[in-house]
Amino acid sequence: MDQIVNVDEFQELAKQALPKMYYDFYNGGAEDQHTLKENVLAFRRIMLRPRVLVDVSKIDMSTTILGYPVSSPIMIAPTALHKLAHPEGEIATAKAAAACNTIMIVSFMSTCTIEEVASSCNAVRFLQIYVYKRRDVTAQIVKKAEKAGFKAIVLTVDVPRLGRREADIKNKMISPQLKNFEGLVSTEVRPNEGSGLEAFASNALDASLSWKDIEWLRSITKLPILVKGLLTREDALKAVETGVDGIVVSNHGARQLDYSPATITVLEEVVHVVRGRIPVLLDGGVRRGTDVFKALALGAQAVLIGRPIVYGLAAKGEDGVKKVIEMLKNELEITMALSGCPTIDDITRNHVRTENERLRSML
């Protein structure tokens, strides 16, 4: 691992380590994969505005998320089926998160049980959920998480149906039976053709889910509720009005609706509407410490890392996940020092210049 100098290099190692079906599952996006590319490229069009002659002899990256202290504003996004990447699955990821003093959002589609993840190490963690047509399934998983000491529920709201992921259709991707659902519902679907995941999702997910159902979710848990998958100021305002505890600006890693905007391009409109009333987090396309810095400058409280975590897991297990997080933290620390920002609170909107601002200045 000494030769690896940035997180993108883990992707190539993961490609070598994984069967094609599984690599394509983690790597792929929806349809033409336009948004998949844009999530990364949009960060590159934002320029930094460094300030100099600031005392940066000490850099403090620590912050809090929902009141829980973390070593940096870099969290682990919910991603499914970690045992397809590594035999230890989500347990290895959870241990890496704990070692790096950050929060892991465990996927509803985890291959390790909630209890296994909870008992693997002592750390703050959240649970991501989908709402199934059978509401009792979701309710029982939420209760399990609450009992196991999870600290928040992250409701993914951009999957009334599964996006069209053509690599999974070609590969006839199969969803394994998940232990969290044993005795509740079968997650193993083997269609005659196409993606087993798509077949399972269309059978299981509740496409009627709407804003009024936030009340239902609140009725079954005392945990804070974040909604993940918002991309517009209108939905952000609705989320605040509904009384949720946080927002994740996300296009589901570009796996749902192709030609939806890159998340970093819509972050600011969400932040403006929220006006600091609840935390706004962001995922999608974060590959560098400079990306983390840009997201913070545009108003995110933290970023969630998805694919790089899975690539690190596939390549080197728990150590690979730790290495990905530490690399991003190191890059963020350097970016803060070279931009004149000794603490997270010192990162302001004045430290970045977006593409639109550059274009306006040229007129």
Q: Write out pLDDT tens, residues 172-215.
A: 888 777 888 887 866 655 555 555 566 666 678 899 999 999 99
Which residues are annotated binding-site positions?
Answer: 78-80, 107, 128, 130, 156, 165, 228, 250, 252, 255, 283-287, 306-307
- The tokens describing 110, both together, are 């985890």
pLDDT of 175: 76
Residue 126 backbone phi and psi in degrees, to 5: -110, 165
pLDDT of residue 356: 81
* 252 labelled catalytic: yes
What pLDDT does 218 receive?
96
At residue 200, the pLDDT reads 65
Joined tokens for residue 346: 């010192």
Q: Which of 34, 82, 86, 252 is catalytic?
A: 252
- In one-letter notation, the amino acid at residue 13 is L
Per the annotation, where are the binding residues for glyoxylate?
A: 165, 252, 255
For residues 261 and 259, give the distance between their C-alpha atoms in angstroms, rounded to a whole number: 6
pLDDT at residue number 174: 81
Pick the CATH number of 7-361 from 3.40.50.2000, 3.30.750.24, 1.10.443.10, 3.20.20.70: 3.20.20.70
**Helix, strand, coil tally for the chain in percent (to 5):** 45, 15, 40
pLDDT < 70 regions, the chain: 1-2, 185-202, 362-363
**Residue 132: how many other CB atoms lie within 10 Å:** 20
φ/ψ bin of 281: left (φ > 0), alpha (ψ from -120 to 50), beta (otherwise) = beta
Annotated binding site for FMN: 78-80, 107, 128, 130, 156, 228, 250, 283-287, 306-307
- For residue 244 the two structure tokens come to 């949720």
- The secondary structure of residue 227, as a DSSP letter, is E
What is the C-alpha to C-alpha distance for residues 340 and 80, in angstroms, rounded to an integer? 38
> Using CA atoms, how far apart are residues 261 and 45, in angstroms rounded to an integer?
14
Residue 310 DSSP class = H
3-state SS of 184-206 is CCCCCCCCCCCCHHHHHHHHHEC
Provide Rg for the chain, Cα atoms: 20
